[in-house]
Amino acid sequence: EPEVTQTPSHQVTQMGQEVILRCVPISNHLYFYWYRQILGQKVEFLVSFYNNEISEKSEIFDDQFSVERPDGSNFTLKIRSTKLEDSAMYFCASSEWGVGWENYEQYFGPGTRLTVT
């Protein structure tokens, strides 16, 4: 069964450093998402991406964050200057095209645990 993959599974970085989290969505999916989950808290939506541009973003997704689809398979989340509070599990998800009221399930990757020291 096709699945979303994420690398690395765990990343440790120092405060102020840039990190890039990588995701390979399911190949025929067109919508891509990033979520984060601070330890012990709920999952929070960061951004959705379609047709090489951001579709929606939350207020968490400020100027230090950016997303990119650098090639036909990868989808990346860049955090420009990490802060301690960026420590969290970051989930990538993808879904097929959703039109109108149709729902397409969002398939989640296994997550990248980011630790900022």
Partner 1 sequence: AQKITQTQPGMFVQEKEAVTLDCTYDTSDQSYGLFWYKQPSSGEMIFLIYQGSYDEQNATEGRYSLNFQKARKSANLVISASQLGDSAMYFCAMRDLRGGGADGLTFGKGTHLIIQP
Binding site for partner 1 (CB under 8 A): 30-31, 33, 35, 41-48, 50, 55-56, 58, 89, 91, 93, 95-111, 113
Closest approach of partner 1 to the CB of residue 33, in Å:
6
How far from chain centre, in Å, is Cα 53?
14
Using alpha carbons only, give the angle 9, 50, 39 rounded to the nearest 5 degrees.
Answer: 30
Closest approach of partner 1 to the CB of residue 113, in Å:
8
Closest approach of partner 1 to the CB of residue 101, in Å:
5
- Write out the E strands in 51-116: 53-57, 65-68, 75-79, 88-95, 107-108, 112-116
